[in-house]
Amino acid sequence: MSALTGHPSRREARGILPWLAAPALVVFVGFAVVPLVGVFALSFTTWDGIGAIRLSGLTSWRKVLTNPGLPHALWVTFLVMAVSWAVQTPLSILLGTFLAGRQRYRAVLGVVYFIPLMLSSAAIAIAYKALLDPNFGLGAGLNIHALSQDWLGRPGLAFGVVVFVVSWQFIPFHSLIYQGGVQQIPQSLYEAAQLDGAGRIRQFFSITLPQLKYTVITSSTLMVVGSLTFFDLIFVLTEGGPGDATRVLALDMYKRGFQASLMGPASAIAVILVLLGLSLALLLRRLGGGDAGASQLEGA
C-alpha cells in the first residue's frame, strides 16, 4: 500500500511544487513589481497627487538631479548607514557571542535585550522624543544638566540621537543573528584551541570572528539595505530636522511626494532608492567572495 502510493505522490509533488510558489509570486508581483513599474512610469510625469497625470518626459528627473537637496539627502543617508553599521556591528557581535553561552542568566538577559525589537518604530520615536524634550524631558525632570541638551534641535546632536535610537532598536535583532551564528560553530574548534593554549580573546579573534564571516555579511546586508528605508522612526523623531540635518532619502521622497505634492520628482527619488538598495546588496554579496553558500565548516 505504502509502496504503491509512494511513487505517484512524489511525482504529484513535483508537479504541485511550482504551484505552491504561486500565491507568494502573486503577492510579490502585486505588491513589489507592479508598484515598482508604476513608480518608474510616474517618474516621467507631472502629478500633484490629486489632479490629472501628465507626461512630462525628463522634467522630474532634471528637477531632482539638479536640486541641491539630493546630494545632501544622499550624504545623510550614507552617514546614517555607515555610522549605524559601525555602531551596531561590533556591539551585536559581542552581545551575540555573549548570549550564545549556555548559562541560564544569559538566556534571561537575552529575552530582556529582545524587548526593543517588539516595539513599533513610531512608539519608540514618540517615547524618545518625550524623554529628550529639553523642557519637559528626562534631563529637566531629574535636573541632570548633562541630559537636558537640545537633543533634537541641533543638527549634530539630532543625527547622533537618530543613530543611537536606530542602534538601540536593531542591535537586539542582529545579536540574535550572531547568537545563532556562534552556536553553529562546532565545539571541537574551541576544544582544539584550548589544547593549543589559546585564551578566550585569542579564541574569539581566531575562531569565532572568522567563522562568523557569512553571518557578518548577512547582518550587514540587512543593516545597510534596511537603513535606506529608515523613515518612520526619523519622521516621528525629527521630521528630518532640524532644518534638513536628518533628512534621509526616504524622508525626502515622502516630503516631496506627499507634502509638496510633487509626485513626479518623488517617484524619481524612489527609483534612485531602489537602484541604490539593489547595488548595495549586490556589492555586499561580491565582498563576501562569490559563493556565499559555501560552507566554512568543511573538515570540522
Partner 1 sequence: MALSRRTLLGLAAGVPVSAAPAACGSSGPGKSGGATYWYLNGQPQEGVRSSAVDAFNKAHPKDQIKDTTYQNDAYKTKIKTAIGAGRAPTVIWGWGGGTLRTYVEAGQVEDLTPWFEEHPEIKKGLFPSSFGAATVDGKIYAMPCETVQPIILYYNKRVFEQVGAKPPQSWDDIMALVPRFNAKGIAPFALGGQSRWTNMMWLEFLFDRIGGSEVFQAVVEGEKNAWSNPAAITALTKVQELVKAQGFVKGFSSITADSNADQALLYTGRAAMMLHGAWSYGIQQADGGDFVSSGGLGYMTFPPVEGGKGDPSDTVGNPAQYLSISSKAGAEQKKTARDFFATGVLQDAEVKKWIGNGSVPIRLGTEKLLAASKSADFLTFTYDIASKAKVFAQSWDQALSPTAAETLLDNIVKLFQLSISPKQFADNLNAVTAK
Q: Report which residue type is found at 27.
A: V
Q: How far apart are CA 250 and CA 36, in angstroms?
A: 15
How far is it between the farthest Cα atoms of the chain?
80
Of these, 35, 38, 49, 141, which contacts partner 1 (CB under 8 A)?
49
Closest distance of CB 285 from partner 1, Å: 9
Closest distance of CB 205 from partner 1, Å: 28
The stretch near partner 1 (CB under 8 A) out of 54-62, 91-99, 187-195, 255-263 is 255-263
If binding is defined by CB under 8 A, does position 244 make contact with partner 1?
Answer: yes
Of these, 48, 122, 279, 294, which contacts partner 1 (CB under 8 A)?
48
In the shown chain, the binding pattern of residues 28 to 47 toward partner 1, with x for contact by CB under 8 A and - for none, equals: x-xxx---------------
Of the candidates 78, 97, 101, the one whose C-alpha atom is nearest the C-alpha of residue 163 is 78
Closest distance of CB 113 from partner 1, Å: 23
**How many residues interact with partner 1 (rule CB under 8 A)?**
40
Q: How far apart are CA 249 and CA 274, in angstroms?
A: 11
If binding is defined by CB under 8 A, does position 205 make contact with partner 1?
Answer: no
Of the candidates 220, 118, 228, the one whose C-alpha atom is nearest the C-alpha of residue 177 is 220
Of these, 241, 274, 277, 280, which contacts partner 1 (CB under 8 A)?
241
Count Cβ neighbours within 10 Å for each residue of 199-232 and write b for 16 or more, e otherwise.
eeeebeeebbeebbebbbbbbbbbbbbebbebbb
DSSP secondary structure, 173-202, as one string: HHHHHHHHHHHHS-HHHHHHHHHTT--HHH
User: Using CB under 8 A as the criterion, which residues of the chain lie in contact with partner 1 when the complex forms?
Assistant: 21, 23-28, 30-32, 48-52, 129, 132-136, 150-153, 158, 238-239, 241-244, 255-256, 258-262, 293
